[in-house]
Amino acid sequence: MKITGGAKAKSVEAMFSSIAHRYDFLNHFLSLGFDITWRKKAIACFSDLRGKKILDVACGTGDLAITIAKAGDETTRITAGDFSREMIEIGKTKIKEADLDSAVTMEFSDALNLTYHDNSFDGVTCAFGVRNFAGLNRGLSEMTRVLKPGGRMVILEFTQPSNPVFGALYKFYFTQMLPAVGGLLSGNKDAYKYLPDTVYQFPAPDKLSAMLEGLGLERVEFNPLTFGICGIHTGIKK
């Protein structure tokens, strides 16, 4: 299936596919396991997952989808989509191993061109995905379109720490050490240089909040996590 977003989307897809086999290990290793807590906090934005249909966009190897399934019950249904087939294949294996096949459906899905009907999900989530979209506004607009009125959008994304001292230390780790270690262990140094590059280029939380409001979300909030390394954006579709 053709993907939307031209050369940028193709190179993002190729890069994630090339590191898919080391992705989970490096996520946990390079974040010192914090990514697990961040995903749990993101899912805690949903007060009740019973009977809810959730779409997880740019799901990667499925960690957020699995977190949702574990937080919900046997009536919670998750559709998890990504445009990297390598990521999806690893995710499918993890879902089978966790015995969550009845809760989670993993499939090829292009975030810039979602094939789902308007107003079809009670919740739409995306962890560390929107920063990679070849068209941010288009991806956010698609996520909003498929969300039901009253449904909640939850976006977990890296941010820049606001404390200047911590920010400088973190920048050294993020721009110098992480590409070196990530590159060595994944075999793709560019992928781990791409990560800090995209974080420093990404719109600040207030700008992202304004975009979400412009797309028709209300009660838009941003909650920073772990000294502002990342944060949770959430809003409700009007």
Ligand X SMILES: C[S@@+](CC[C@H](N)C(=O)[O-])C[C@H]1O[C@@H](n2cnc3c(N)ncnc32)[C@H](O)[C@@H]1O
Selected from 66, 68, 92, 129, the binder of ligand X by CB under 6 A is 129
What CA–CA distance (Å, rounded) separates 123 from 152? 5
Which of 44, 49, 35, 60 is CA-nearest to residue 111? 60
What CA–CA distance (Å, rounded) separates 81 from 104? 10
Q: Is 191 in the site for ligand X (CB under 6 A)?
A: no
Selected from 58, 106, 229, 230, the binder of ligand X by CB under 6 A is 58
Both tokens of 76, joined, read 């919670």
> For ligand X, which is the closer residue by CB, 150 or 225?
225
The window from 8-16, 140-148, 163-171, 172-180 that contacts ligand X (CB under 6 A) reads: 8-16
- CA 176 from centroid of its chain's CA atoms: 23
Q: Is 46 in the site for ligand X (CB under 6 A)?
A: no
First vs last C-alpha separation in the chain: 32
Q: Is 194 in the site for ligand X (CB under 6 A)?
A: no
CA distances from 33 to 17, 91, 216 (A): 22, 19, 34
The interface with ligand X within residues 68-87 (CB under 6 A) comprises 82-84, 87
Q: Is 43 in the site for ligand X (CB under 6 A)?
A: no
- Site for ligand X, rule CB under 6 A: 5, 9, 12-13, 16, 27, 58-60, 63-64, 82-84, 87, 109-112, 127-129, 132-133
